[in-house]
Amino acid sequence: MSAKRRSDRKKTSRWKKGLLWTLLLVIVAVVSYSIYFIGNVYQATNEAYDEIDRPNGKSELRETDVAITKDPISILLMGIEDYETDGQNGRADTQILATLNPHTNKMTMTTIPRDTITEFTEEEAGQYAGTHKLNAAYTYGSITDYGEVKLQVEKVEDLLGIPIDEYVAVNFDGFRDIVDALGGVSIDIKEPFWEKNFYVPGEKVHFEQGVSKLNGEEALAFVRMRKQAANANYSREERQRQFIESTIDQAISTNTLFKVGEISNILGQNVSTSFSPSEIFHMQQTYSSIDTSNIETFEVGGQDEVINGIWYFNPDPNSIDELANQLRQELELPLEDNTTSTVEY
């Protein structure tokens, strides 16, 4: 064999070894990053995890446990306003009940009026027992150590007569930061209006009709406005549902994968949920193909009333009965002939 052939073989061998080592280093780097990435996400979601304190870990209105990705479930979404109390004893400024059905891949949303007239016992509210607005449940549950989420969930269950399986609560900072981490959300604004910028005193956020991409501060102003004239035809509830639909679209987009690390850093600080890290992972897998254009929305019927000088929302019993059965149908629960609500009107 000639010296030239032996030299060529040595070069080829060195080249192959070099390639193998390069591939090995790439694989090690990818695996190491994956472990670091998954570990960080798990730690953050675990910090946000805060299960509802109730017997057997399930709603008292459930006869059997539900499997998150196999059975229809209900989720109470709460926007918490706690900036005036330095993060303590906040109130549920926004409450939306969502249902998810893996058999139909369908989602529904029901906005729960924050001013719904609600009775509180001494056990629940201590010295504040009596008639209050529904969003105060979060506050009194915190003050009395009854449990802010526990009391808020139970009061919505009392109102609608259906079980609430899980919850997600996010404060204003968490809301803003998640929207920014997603790169903003695109929303088709139906009417022009303005709202105060929560983060910049004296500044107004103006919204023009048409599709607009909103950052975190703008999105917060968009869902909070309720005192401008446009709210009469373009209600806060409708805007909140628009926001959630747009956020879901953005969250399940292909680009979100690269932002999970950033989002996970927000969770433990400003978000709490009864979903465990593994449940969040499986939920994403199960509902990643959900079509937000098919989300069905329900409303609580009733009227505003002044009682002892305070404005309340007084739900209509017939509307509650109808809504309860609609939600029970979505959850594949037996329908009720009579009212399921335990609230006195």
Together in a domain, 136 and 239? yes
pTM comes to: 0.82
Together in a domain, 96 and 3? no
Which of 61, 72, 64, 110 is closest to 330 using CA atoms? 72
Within a domain: residue 338?
no
Give the dihedral sign, CA 239/241/245/247.
positive
Residue 150: Cβ within 10 Å count: 17
Within a domain: residue 190?
yes
Together in a domain, 134 and 184? yes
Kindly state the tokens that stand for 316.
Answer: 């209509």
Q: What are 27-38's pLDDT values in tens digits?
A: 444 443 333 444
Q: Are strands 296-299 and 106-111 parallel, antiparallel or unpaired?
A: parallel
Q: Give the model's pLDDT for residue 260.
A: 58
Mean pLDDT confidence for 6-25: 53
Q: Give the model's pLDDT for residue 271.
A: 86
Within a domain: residue 326?
yes
Mean pLDDT, the chain, rounded, equals 83
Place of tokens 């052939």: 5
Which residue range(s) make up the domain with 19? 1-48
pLDDT: which is higher, 93 or 89: 93
Within a domain: residue 176?
yes
Q: What are 119-172's pLDDT values in tens digits?
A: 999 999 999 999 999 999 999 999 999 999 999 999 999 999 999 999 999 898
Q: Give the model's pLDDT for residue 342.
A: 46
Within a domain: residue 341?
no
Within a domain: residue 339?
no
Q: Give the model's pLDDT for residue 336.
A: 80
Please, are residues 89 and 108 in contact by the beta-carbon 8 Å criterion? no
Together in a domain, 242 and 101? yes
Q: Give the model's pLDDT for residue 85.
A: 60
Distances (CA, A) of 197 to 39, 147, 188, 191, 232: 36, 31, 20, 18, 21
Place of tokens 């009212």: 339
Together in a domain, 241 and 285? yes
CA distance linking residue 211 with residue 338, whole number of Å: 44
Give me the number of domains the chain comprises.
2
CATH assignment of the domain containing 286: 3.40.630.190
Q: What are 231-250's pLDDT values in tens digits?
A: 889 998 899 989 998 888 87
